[in-house]
Amino acid sequence: RKEVEQDPGPFNVPEGATVAFNCTYSNSASQSFFWYRQDCRKEPKLLMSVYSSGNEDGRFTAQLNRASQYISLLIRDSKLSDSATYLCVVFFSGSARQLTFGSGTQLTVLP
Amino acid sequence: GAGVSQTPSNKVTEKGKYVELRCDPISGHTALYWYRQSLGQGPEFLIYFQGTGAADDSGLPNDRFFAVRPEGSVSTLKIQRTERGDSAVYLCASSFDGEGGYTFGSGTRLTVV
């Protein structure tokens, strides 16, 4: 079983749609959680951190459920520029002090 | 510099050859990571440096892979006797304190033919 699992998609949605991505992680001791965005043939870039209380950044809302080991990302009013791969990422500040990435979910927003 | 710099951006090498990939992190960042990303996959951890020392090299796939960071800044990933399966994008990231929120370089696309 992978440490971080995501639905690979692809998700093809019309402009203006709301789309949600889900992610589960296996290490219950994981401490920090992030969503990264990766454009085609580019490096991953931090989109937002994910907090237990849930957090919002404009059209983006992230949720964390530690009991279920589940993370989500909601994008409202999708824009063409939101087309990218969204990577779910967990961080464990233990002996293996590293970010662990999911395989990513591909989103295409259609005009 | 302003960001993480990786060179070369592209490298094509013949099977069996030796390659070196360079990473120049953000100035002042003590934590440096190497990741490898294959097509359709997320980045896969290789090695983590805190300062000059390799704090965790558990992700290196075998002894053909080695990385150094002699002065706690620039790092070099070295691959001996390259194989076609080594073809991937090699990403470097740095962080001020190793606590997530890393900045990635644009990667080196390695192709072994």
Q: What is the pLDDT of residues B18-27, one digit of tens each?
A: 999 999 999 9
pLDDT of residue A96: 57
- Kindly state the average pLDDT of the residues B70-90: 97
pLDDT of residue B81: 98
pLDDT of residue B100: 62
B56 vs A contacts (CB less than 8 Å):
95-98
Q: Do B91 and A43 touch (CB under 8 A)?
A: yes
- Kindly state the average pLDDT of the residues B80-104: 89
Burial classification of residue A53, based on how many CB atoms lie within 10 Å of its CB (0-12 exposed, 13-18 middle, 19 or more buried): exposed
B59 vs A contacts (CB less than 8 Å):
98
SS3 B84: helix
B106 shares contact with chain A (CB less than 8 Å): yes
pLDDT of residue B97: 73
pLDDT of B5 > 70? The answer is: yes
DSSP for residue B97: S
Nearest to A47 by CA among A1, A107, A96, A3: A107
- Kindly state the average pLDDT of the residues B79-104: 90
Q: Put residue B59 in one of left, alpha, beta given phi > 0 → left and psi -120 to 50 → alpha.
A: alpha
Contact A104, A5 (CB under 8 A): no
Position B41 confidence tier, pLDDT thresholds 50, 70, 90: very high
Buried b (16+ CB within 10 A) or exposed e, A62-101: bbbeeeebebbbebeebeeebbbbbbbbbbbeeeebbbbb
Which residues of chain A, if any, have pLDDT below 70?
1, 94-97
The structure tokens 């992030």 sit at: A34
SS3 B54: strand
- Kindly state the average pLDDT of the residues B93-104: 81
In Å, what is the CA distance from A90 to each residue of A24, B12, B113?
10, 32, 34
Distance from CA of B52 to the nearest CA of A (A): 16
